[in-house]
Amino acid sequence: MVAPATAGNEQRRAFRREQVLRLLATLGPLTRVQICSLLELSRGAGAGLVADLLGAGLITESADDPEGRVAGRPPKLLRLAPPQGSFLAVSLGHDAVTVAVADGSGTIRSRQSRPCEHFTPIDTQLATAASLVAGLVADDDDSERTVVVSRLGPAEPIDGLEVLGGRVLVNNDANLAAFGELTFGAGQGARNLLYVRVVTATGGGLVIEGRIHSGSNGHAGDVGHLPIEGGDWLCWCGLVGCAGRVINGDAMVRELREVFPQVTSFADIEKAAAHRVPVVEVFLRRTGRKLGRAIAGLVGVADLDCLVIDGALGSAGAPFIVGVKEALDAYTFPGTSPHLRVELGAFGEGADLHGAIALGIAAATPTPLPAFATTRAFARDMRQLSVT
Ligand SMILES: [Zn+2]
């Protein structure tokens, strides 16, 4: 039996190790001296912790000093090691099941997709996913595997995930698209981000303080049922005037076709936008304004720093975003919109796969410290600690 004093020491050591990892996750590479100062550790205690973490492969040490502050022998910098193992993304979409496998840096090594009918039962989709996974990672060790499943509907778990093996997490496809854009795409560097999907179906995902915000019922970020000014149409959800009924690819095709019968798909709209057809540009700008008006309240209340609009808009994105910005300028609290980046997504279809990989990696990476401990002033003080 372990003596109480020893158990207490071990617990303290584990807590300290966690603190070092979270400090590196928050501030980036640090020297041993900086770590000891920040955590108020003696040199000896600090050296012990660092040796433990290096031994476990959780951090690495290198002799580069990017700021070049010190003459002579540069201090060694400690940084988080990329997480080990493989990261699998499984997307259970409307019309396809797609699986991708990436390494700890987020680089996708392989990807496979199999089409499916609309409303395919989820257990059938999971069986398809399991066979695709088996084909992609036959040689990998299950114990090292993190699988993130992107699903339609609320960000809640589903039955039968064990067929995928390893550690399995589930989230909503639009939430994951938001996280994918934040981590690898157009939203890099943002902390509070709203992603709005437009082309396939209106929806959205919300990231608050760098983390997916699913809300109390798994529906946070879904902008498809925000009411539109003057809207009097009935939505399938039972509400009247929902944005999702008029702001999506099919709805735009229907509206334009009334005037231009040759428009049969969103690809036609995109092609016309690429050729700068004035009527189409005006139409897209007006549709963007409707979206901007519908989400302006949310953008202001959440005090976002980035809004990412569906990359699947392609060439139609530029005029659409002009309209979004016009509405945000008009309907958000003065001073909000100048600080808001509005970007076209870097990913179109498949943005959720990038997010699923990003979430798997984030789940295997130490969590940064809370925002109150990471103000710019705090970070600056940390950097200015003297290196001796
Ligand atoms: Zn609705």
pLDDT at res. 201 = 86
pLDDT at 258 over 90: yes
Question: 233 CA distance to ligand 1 centroid (A)?
Answer: 10
Q: Are 58 and 23 in contact (CB under 8 A)?
A: no
pLDDT at res. 388 = 32
Q: What is the mean pLDDT of residues 260-287?
A: 96
Burial of 43 (0-12, 13-18, 19+ CB in 10 A): exposed
Q: What is the pLDDT of residues 116-131, one digit of tens each?
A: 998 889 999 999 999 9
pLDDT at res. 367 = 78
Q: Label residue 97 by pLDDT band (50, 70, 90).
A: very high
| CATH architecture observed for domain 186-345 | 2-Layer Sandwich (3.30)
Question: 123 CA distance to ligand 1 centroid (A)?
Answer: 27
Neighbours of ion ligand 1 (CB under 5 A): 225, 235, 237, 239, 242
* Residue spans per domain, the chain: 4-82+367-384, 87-173+353-363, 186-345
Same fold across 4-82+367-384 and 186-345? no
CA angle centred on 207, ends 211 and 342, rounded to 5°: 140
pLDDT at 321 over 50: yes
pLDDT: which is higher, 33 or 383: 33
Question: 241 CA distance to ligand 1 centroid (A)?
Answer: 7
Question: 156 CA distance to ligand 1 centroid (A)?
Answer: 20
pLDDT at res. 350 = 87
Report the side by side order of strands in the sheet with 211-212. Answer: 211-212, 203-208, 193-197, 306-309, 341-344
pLDDT at res. 371 = 54
pTM: 0.83
| CATH architecture observed for domain 87-173+353-363 | 2-Layer Sandwich (3.30)
The CATH class that applies to domain 4-82+367-384 reads mainly alpha
pLDDT at res. 21 = 92
Question: 224 CA distance to ligand 1 centroid (A)?
Answer: 7
Q: CA torsion angle for 314, 318, 322, 323 (degrees, to 10)?
A: -30
Q: Is 233 helix (H, G, I), strand (E, B) or coil?
A: coil
Q: What is the mean pLDDT of residues 177-186?
A: 96
- Both tokens of residue 161? 């995930």
pLDDT at res. 1 = 42
pLDDT at res. 3 = 46
